[in-house]
Amino acid sequence: MKILLTGGCGFIGSAVVRHLLRHTDHVVINVDKMTYAASEEALEEGLGHNRHMLIRACVTDAATMRQVFATHAPDAVMHLAAESHVDRSIDGPADFVQTNVVGTFTLLDAAREHWSGLPAARRAAFRFHHISTDEVFGSLGPGDSPFTEDTAYDPRSPYAATKAASDHLVRAWFHTYGLPTIVSNTANNYGPWQFPEKLIPLVTINALEGKKLPVYGDGSNCRDWLFVSDHAEALVRVLERGVPGGTYAISGRQPRTNLQVVRAICAELDRLQPDPAGPRERLIRFVTDRPGHDFRYEIDPTCSEAALDWTAPHDFDTGLAKTVAWYVANRAWWHEVRARRYAGERLGSPGHEGAAQGEAVQAGVAQAGMVQGGVAQGGAAPGQAETSDAAQGRAA
């Protein structure tokens, strides 16, 4: 199978690329604009692999998307490209509307044109898998039942609202045009290569540097967690086994409060690399809460687990230990990120301006072209960040 995968240099997207190359025979056409949160290094062996091609392009660029479909004739689409950080959506929602809504529309339109011209057998086998988030369902109270595939939408942040809009577009293209689409909604992802604006890498890196560990409010906000390689495996199963028009809610059954997560990171770092100054919990600081901070997300993945014959291999403690060890061993990568792209400053606070900083850092990244087993330079429209929650994961 030849898969057109968007946002494949983002956090989750790169994990999917690695999984596809290591565990399947599928060919990957990776479309990514390479904005602030993208990393070619996260592709690991993918950069030189003969079943992987990276095309630097923007999903909002309709002409380039049509060209990609015409040139590569994919059998399926995995759409992970998205702006994904809630705090950045508070500071700069326009980029989220452009990328998450307009970008999804543009890709759907190009996919429908391609699909309409396929022979009958290939039309029947074609899939468009849209990767989304549990944040579209809104906020749970302490005693509420977890989200399922049937939970009504109630997005509360600009990020969640744009992802909800994109989900609705995908389903509309199924019901109106017959395009065989599938939607999956996921919990918070964590693991190696996550951009350090998100909770787990931010806290891990700050703790390694002896800096303060910011926790929103009183730390009681709760998130459901999923190790990124487990999610990548599940996403490929959705693509291969999912029913057109279906929805799959994916989770590792690992709910934790933010404070529990931060304390677990401190404990793991103290075990791996003790700080002479004392236990790292001393660095925890409670800070003013995020505007409109959803209290709790949690997914009940029972239906998806049965349909996909899948459960998350990692529990939270095992996944977190692997994640913390990776950041300890890969200081060079995050030192470069801190120096050039994101220094760890707070985003999304009241009165904060200009925090969505991907565009300027990555200016000039786009021109068209293709390189087998390597990088293609593609035309890009402004305002696109091809790294998902879906390619990026979210901060809690």
Residue 348 — very low, low, confident or very high, per pLDDT cuts 50/70/90? Answer: low
**What residues pair up with 299 in beta bridges, in sequence order?**
147
At residue 258, the pLDDT reads 97
Indicate if the pLDDT at residue 390 is higher than 60: no
At residue 369, the pLDDT reads 36
At residue 85, the pLDDT reads 72
Q: Which residue among the candidates 83, 135, 230, 389 is catalytic per the annotation?
A: 135
134 annotated active-site: yes
Average pLDDT of the segment spanning 159-175: 97
The full DSSP string for 239-282 is HHHPPTT-EEEE--S-EEEHHHHHHHHHHHHHHHS--TT--GGG
- Cα 339 to chain centroid, rounded: 23
Host H or E run for residue 159: helix 158-177
Indicate if the pLDDT at residue 365 is higher than 50: no
At residue 375, the pLDDT reads 43
Residue ranges of E strands in the chain = 2-6, 27-32, 52-56, 76-79, 127-133, 181-186, 188-190, 213-216, 222-227, 247-250, 255-257, 284-287, 375-377
Q: Which residue among the candidates 61, 91, 134, 224 is catalytic per the annotation?
A: 134
* 237-282 pLDDT per residue, tens: 999 999 999 999 999 999 999 999 999 999 999 999 999 999 999 9
**How many Å apart are CA 231 and CA 42, to the nearest integer?**
16
**How many Å apart are CA 3 and CA 29, to the nearest integer?**
6
Average pLDDT of the segment spanning 209-219: 94
Pick the closest to residue 133 from 107, 156, 109 (CA basis).
Answer: 156
Degrees to nearest 5, angle at CA 113 with 112 and 119? 90
At residue 358, the pLDDT reads 34
CATH top-level class for 2-189+228-255+297-314+353-377? alpha beta
Q: At what angle do helices 11-23 and 228-241 cross, to 10 degrees?
A: 60
Q: Which residue among the candidates 95, 149, 159, 230 is catalytic per the annotation?
A: 159
95 annotated active-site: no
Which single residue is written with the structure tokens 């600009």? 158
Work out the mean pLDDT of the chain and round it to a whole number: 88
**How many Å apart are CA 99 and CA 395, to the nearest integer?**
19
At residue 104, the pLDDT reads 98
327 annotated active-site: no
Indicate if the pLDDT at residue 381 is higher than 70: no
At residue 384, the pLDDT reads 32
Q: How many residues does the chain have?
A: 396
